């Protein structure tokens, strides 16, 4: 754009303009009625209507076919009669001679000659039952008779509801050279109509019975077929009420739609339950972490704050300054250890995988004892078999070497804190074939059986160690228990024969990863 050129106009933009919403389309009375029906009734009604349509089409087709067949039989009889001229010639002779003897059949015969002579023959029973054809309007002129073809046609009767099937043939002279009149031969269609009506009534009654039976069977069958859906609805209600362990009873093969749906929903419910449990456990761990941290940090923080305020107020003599600073440093270190232990427990609670390797557990025990000798050279330390002999066998297991090393370090630190100085310490290692057993033994005051079941709980301290002077966080044995549990092992606290405490660890020799 060149300098000085005016800017193009921009249409104003309406902010927060609410777009008009279209009302939902109105539904008809039938749509509202249909939407309120259960699926069972809807399917039963659809099935019944389809069968009704099928029965109607079948009935109409059957009656039409029957009517056409019977009429064709009458037509064939008329055509055959006209071709042979048997009945017609006899009747014409009687009519021409003025004789009134009726023919013994259901035929109606009317003859008319071009000289004006005419007459009809019909039995009294036939006339009473079927009436006589209404022949008014039929042209018997010479030209018309000559043009008629031997094709049957239908004419009305003088009785309501009755009809006749008729054929018109010319009357030839004696020498056959010319036409001298015409003859109408007819047969009644009332019997045919009655047969069709009876068939139609029978088909109608049969159809109604079939429809009633089908509607009943369809309702029962569809209700039974949809039974699993009602169970799914019931299980969904239980899930909504918090019963997450509810499952659908699988009643059909996986090849069916219902069976596949049942299995898919059960799989989804299982995943949802596991996800909910994992979320619940995560929340519980977080709450426990916060509760534990706030509980344990309260005392050292109060101590540090108290000494700091006392120092600021000038309440600490110069000769005690170093002591006070030492106390503050000690409590700060204790808080650091506590926070580190809490974070480690939190990371393990998250289920972080182990770095599993195949390593020498006998060598691990010897390294732990070597570290203990540096910290407490006055103690008698040994690595033994479970029977009390010097360990010479090299035992191997699958596990996270670094974390199992931390287990032994925590246990030996516990021994140093709660057993008398100079008392002996042993680590015993052995196997029963499938599991490796590690025992850390001290010869201190031992432990009360009531406390032995609780020492691996977080922040649990026995009565003899509640003064916190040991500087421990109360989480060392909890970390031990968590690591051993991650290895699918067991840990327990026992009393050492002759006095003292023994921590026994049982670990599987082979660690199989479980998905």
Give pLDDT tens digits for 299-309.
678 878 888 88
State the pLDDT at residue 292. 67
* CA distances in angstroms from 496 to 93, 362, 426, 453, 501, listed in the order given: 143, 21, 11, 16, 5
In terms of pLDDT, which residue wins out, 356 or 99? 356
Q: Residue 35 corresponds to which tokens in the numbers above?
A: 């939407």
Other Cβ atoms within 10 Å of 298 Cβ, number: 10
Residue bearing the bigger pLDDT, 196 or 2: 196
The torsion of the CA quartet 426, 431, 436, 437, rounded to 10 degrees, works out to -40
Instruction: List Cα–Cα distances, 447 to 303, 444, 453, 502, in angstroms.
Output: 30, 9, 10, 9
* 10 pLDDT more than 50: no
d(CA 409, CA 416): 11
pLDDT for 301 equals 81
461 pLDDT higher than 70: no
Share the mean pLDDT of the chain. 81
pLDDT band at 440 (very low <50, low <70, confident <90, very high): very high
**Is the pLDDT assigned to residue 425 strictly greater than 90?**
yes
pLDDT surpasses 80 at 484: yes
**Predicted local confidence at residue 514, as pLDDT:** 45
Question: Percent of the chain having pLDDT more than 90?
Answer: 17
CA distances from 260 to 99, 138, 207, 234 (A): 88, 75, 37, 18
**DSSP code at position 71:** H
The per-residue pLDDT for 178 is 85
Distance CA 48, CA 40 (A): 12
What angle separates helix 190-225 from helix 39-84, to the nearest 10 degrees?
Answer: 160
- Per-residue pLDDT averaged across 482-489, rounded? 90
How would residue 477 be classed by pLDDT, with cut points 50, 70 and 90? Answer: confident
Q: How many CA atoms lie within 13 A of 149 on its CB side?
A: 1
- Mean pLDDT over 25-34 rounds to 80
Is residue 480 within 8 Å of 407, Cβ to Cβ? yes
Q: Is the pLDDT of residue 79 over 80?
A: yes
Q: Spell out the alpha helix ranges (H) of 14-38.
A: 29-36
DSSP string, 174-186: TTSSSEEEEEEEE
Predicted local confidence at residue 295, as pLDDT: 66
Stretch 347-355: mean pLDDT, rounded? 76
Which pLDDT value is given to residue 19? 53
Collect all residues with Cβ–Cβ distance below 8 Å to 16 and sequence separation of at least 6.
Answer: none
Read off the pLDDT of each residue in 292-321 and give the average, rounded to a whole number. Answer: 79
User: What integer is the mean pLDDT of 323-336?
Assistant: 81
In our burial notation (b when 16+ CB lie closer than 10 A, e otherwise), range 52-77 reads beebeeebeeebeebbeebbeebbeb
- State pLDDT tens for residues 40-53: 788 888 888 888 88
Query: Out of 99-113, 118-132, 416-430, which region has the weakest mean confidence (pLDDT)?
Result: 99-113
CA distance 300 to 295: 10
How far from the centroid of its chain's Cα atoms is residue 186's Cα? 72
Structural domains of the chain, with CATH:
63-196 (3.30.450), 244-352 (1.10.287.130), 353-508 (3.30.565.10)
Whether pLDDT at 408 is above 90? yes
Q: What is the C-alpha to C-alpha distance for residues 159 and 165, in angstroms, rounded to an integer?
A: 14
CA distance 505 to 386: 12
- Which range among 222-236, 314-328, 366-380 has the greatest average pLDDT? 366-380
- Mean pLDDT across 88-104: 58
* Dihedrals phi, psi of 417, to nearest 5 degrees: -80, -30
Between residues 286 and 377, the one the model is more confident about: 377
Looking at residue 382, its pLDDT comes to 93
Please name which of 113, 92, 164 lies closest in space to residue 135, comparing C-alpha atoms. 164
How much is the pLDDT for 498?
A: 86
Give the per-residue pLDDT at 15: 45
Query: What's residue 411's pLDDT?
Result: 92
Averaged over 239-250, what is the pLDDT? 84
């Amino acid at each position: 754009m060149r300098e000085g050129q005016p800017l193009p106009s921009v249409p104003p933009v309406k902010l927060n303009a609410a777009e008009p919403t279209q009302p939902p389309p109105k539904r008809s009375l039938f749509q509202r009625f249909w939407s309120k029906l259960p699926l069972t009734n809807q399917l039963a009604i659809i099935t019944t209507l389809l069968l009704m349509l099928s029965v109607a089409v079948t009935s109409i087709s059957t009656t039409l076919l029957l009517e056409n067949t019977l009429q064709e039989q009458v037509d064939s009889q008329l055509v055959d009669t006209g071709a042979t001229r048997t009945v017609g010639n006899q009747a014409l002779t009687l009519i021409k001679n003025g004789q009134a003897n009726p023919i013994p059949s259901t035929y109606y015969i009317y003859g008319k000659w071009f000289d004006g002579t005419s007459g009809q023959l019909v039995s009294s029973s036939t006339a009473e039952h079927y009436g006589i054809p209404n022949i008014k309007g039929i042209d018997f002129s010479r030209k018309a008779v000559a043009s008629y073809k031997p094709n049957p046609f239908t004419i009305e009767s003088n009785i309501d509801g009755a009809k006749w099937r008729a054929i018109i043939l010319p009357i030839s002279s004696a020498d056959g050279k010319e036409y001298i009149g015409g003859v109408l031969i007819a047969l009644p269609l009332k019997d045919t109509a009655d047969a069709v009506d009876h068939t139609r009534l029978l088909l109608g009654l049969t159809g109604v019975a079939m429809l009633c039976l089908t509607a009943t069977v369809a309702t029962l069958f569809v209700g039974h077929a949809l039974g699993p859906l009602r169970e799914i609805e019931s299980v969904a209600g239980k899930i909504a009420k918090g019963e997450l362990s509810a499952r659908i009873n699988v009643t059909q093969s996986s090849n069916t739609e219902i069976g596949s749906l049942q299995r898919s929903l059960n799989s989804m419910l299982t995943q949802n339950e596991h996800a909910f449990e994992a979320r619940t456990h995560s929340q519980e761990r977080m709450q426990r972490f916060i509760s534990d941290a706030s509980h344990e940090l309260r005392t050292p923080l109060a101590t540090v704050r108290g000494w700091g305020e006392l120092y600021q107020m000038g309440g600490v003599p110069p000769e005690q300054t170093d002591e006070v600073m030492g106390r503050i440093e000690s409590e700060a270190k204790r808080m650091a250890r506590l926070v580190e232990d809490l974070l480690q427990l939190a990371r393990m609670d998250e289920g972080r995988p182990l770095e599993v390797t195949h390593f020498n557990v006998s060598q691990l025990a010897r390294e732990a004892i070597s570290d203990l000798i540096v910290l407490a050279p006055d103690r008698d330390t040994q690595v033994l078999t479970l029977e009390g002999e010097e360990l010479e066998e090299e035992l191997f297991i699958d596990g996270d070497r670094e974390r199992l090393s931390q287990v032994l370090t925590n246990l030996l630190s516990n021994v140093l804190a709660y057993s008398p100085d100079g008392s002996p310490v042993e680590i015993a290692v052995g196997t029963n074939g499938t599991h490796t057993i590690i025992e850390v033994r001290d010869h201190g005051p031992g432990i009360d059986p009531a406390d032995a079941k609780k020492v691996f709980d977080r922040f649990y301290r026995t009565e003899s160690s509640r003064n916190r002077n040991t500087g421990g966080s109360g989480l060392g044995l909890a970390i031990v228990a968590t690591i051993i549990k991650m290895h699918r092992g067991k840990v327990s606290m026992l009393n050492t024969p002759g006095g003292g405490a023994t921590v026994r660890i049982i670990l599987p020799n082979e660690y199989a990863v479980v998905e």
